[in-house]
A and B are shown apart, each in its own frame.
Chain A
Amino acid sequence: MHRGKGMKFVGDSRVPAERKPNIPKDYSEFPGKTEAFWPNFLLKEWMVGAVFLIGYLVLTIVHESPLEKKADPTDAGYIPLPDWYFLFLYQLLKYKYAAGDYVLIGTVIIPGLAFGALMLAPFLDTGLERRPSKRPIATGLMLLGLISVTYLTWESVVTHDWEKAKTQGKIVDVSFDQNDPGYQIYQKQSCVGCHGNTLTGGASGPSLIGTGLKPEEIMKIAKEGKPPGMPPNAFKGSDEELKQLAEFISKLEKK
């Protein structure tokens, strides 16, 4: 590169006036079948990307992304589950010596050691040898880590109650008149505590939408209870109010 005296510039800028030809390097001088990135190799990468994109789009179309019902912080019975790539950390905290009094082992010490070692791998494994078989400690520790993560994820998946998970967050499409006198009574009574603000049920009470019951039957349940969950005499109010409530609930239907 030309430096110093005698250099010419474009105007008063720092751009050199001398133009360089836009010619690629000659790759015949490189060893083996070395290829230029642009455009030869990029075209192949592009094709791999296109095939990958097709698979990706098929996945997107076949499995619609999930959406559960709107967050309701009052639903104490909901069993939470993080996204799948956090399951191993979540599962770790279910073991005796990584929970309770020992929770720091599960939240700080084990993950800290594992991820710390991963980050500092080049400074821990400083030998010149690159083949996995020639550096058994590094390879062994990584395999151990892989097996642990796979095992923990697996355990987390098989112990999760998928049947309940399917129903607990389901969007229930229901519309009712919030100003209905029956709903006003419903909210004032203890019903709302178990059956929820939207009458869709919760941890301790079933959904009241589309029960198919007649008002008389609902009045009976509200007074006498229904084992095992529903206690007798749950309703405290006048007979007039009870009737309005029962008529309101019996009218609720799934859309």
Chain B
Amino acid sequence: MLQKIYDWVDERLDITPLWRDVADHEVPEHVNPAHHFSAFVYCFGGLTFFITVIQILSGMFLTMYYVPDIVNAWESVYYLQNEVAFGVIVRGMHHWGASLVIVMMFLHTLRVFFQGAYKKPRELNWVVGVLIFFVMLGLGFTGYLLPWDMKALFATKVGIEIAMTIPVVGPIAKTFLAGGEIIGAQTLTRFFAIHVFFLPAALLGLMGAHFLMIRKQGISGPL
């Protein structure tokens, strides 16, 4: 039955080459922890992706309850944390995932750096990877404000004050992020939009490029 459905779709859309592209790539011995235990260092990139998927899923569920305005934001998070079934788990996964993804990405970066895997012909993939790192830090910064509790507000105030000291770009960045003179209602909705739409869109695009390049070039050889 499944085969019949597959054949029916394949006849019309020729999906076999696509599927073989995804499934058929060799995993060399030197990156396979089953053969060399030290190859576990190659897991960090995959785990970063794994946590990113969890972040996207848990974030989607959080937005079912979260309200991005200064009157209700904190109340909605409090409700989510204390009243909603498994709300504390979903929020906890999103909270801890944000830290874990930084840790894993950091380890992945160090692995690639110390193995010199960014060298020709993989320069572009490294640059895209560093951009992903910046986007992740941006997600961390914007997400920190959303619960609208004391530490969220004051950390964001400090962050934007620091950005203000940068000549030329600083004041523009402040206007863009804060949406006005004070850190308030406008800032919260902007951070929400940036955290939920702008940065994830950039992240998905960059990750797509990252994966395309690694598939095209293959993983770097053993040292």
Contacts and interface: CB of A to CB of B under 8 A. Distances in A.
Contact of A16 (B14, B70, B130, B163): B14
B91 A65 contact: yes
A85 B30 CA distance: 32
Contacts of A85: 99, 102, 137, 140
A71 B71 CA distance: 10
Most buried by A among B28, B148, B150, B182: B150
A68 to B, nearest CB: 4
Interface residues of A, number: 85
B175 to A, nearest CB: 18
Main secondary structure of the interface of B (DSSP, over half): helix
Interface residues of B, number: 89
B50 interface: yes
A59 B93 CA distance: 9
Interface string B45-65: 011001100100000000000
Contacts of A64: 81, 88, 92
Nearest to A130: B116
A19 B96 contact: no
A122 B140 CA distance: 27
A210 to B, nearest CB: 21
Given A52-B50, A68-B149, A135 B116 contact: yes
Nearest to A127: B119
A119 B117 contact: no
Given A33-B35, A81-B155, A123-B123, A72 B150 contact: yes
A128 B119 CA distance: 8
Contact of A71 (B115, B131, B141, B149): B149
A71 B191 CA distance: 15
25 contacts: A10-B12, A15-B14, A30-B28, A37-B23, A39-B23, A53-B50, A56-B100, A60-B96, A61-B89, A61-B92, A63-B96, A65-B94, A67-B78, A71-B152, A72-B150, A72-B153, A73-B153, A80-B155, A83-B141, A108-B166, A120-B127, A122-B120, A122-B126, A169-B149, A169-B150
Interface of B: 10-14, 16-17, 19-20, 22-30, 32-35, 43, 46-47, 50-51, 54, 70, 74-75, 77-78, 81, 88-89, 91-100, 102, 110, 113-120, 122-123, 126-127, 130-131, 134, 137, 140-141, 144, 147-155, 157-159, 162-163, 165-167, 182-184, 220, 223
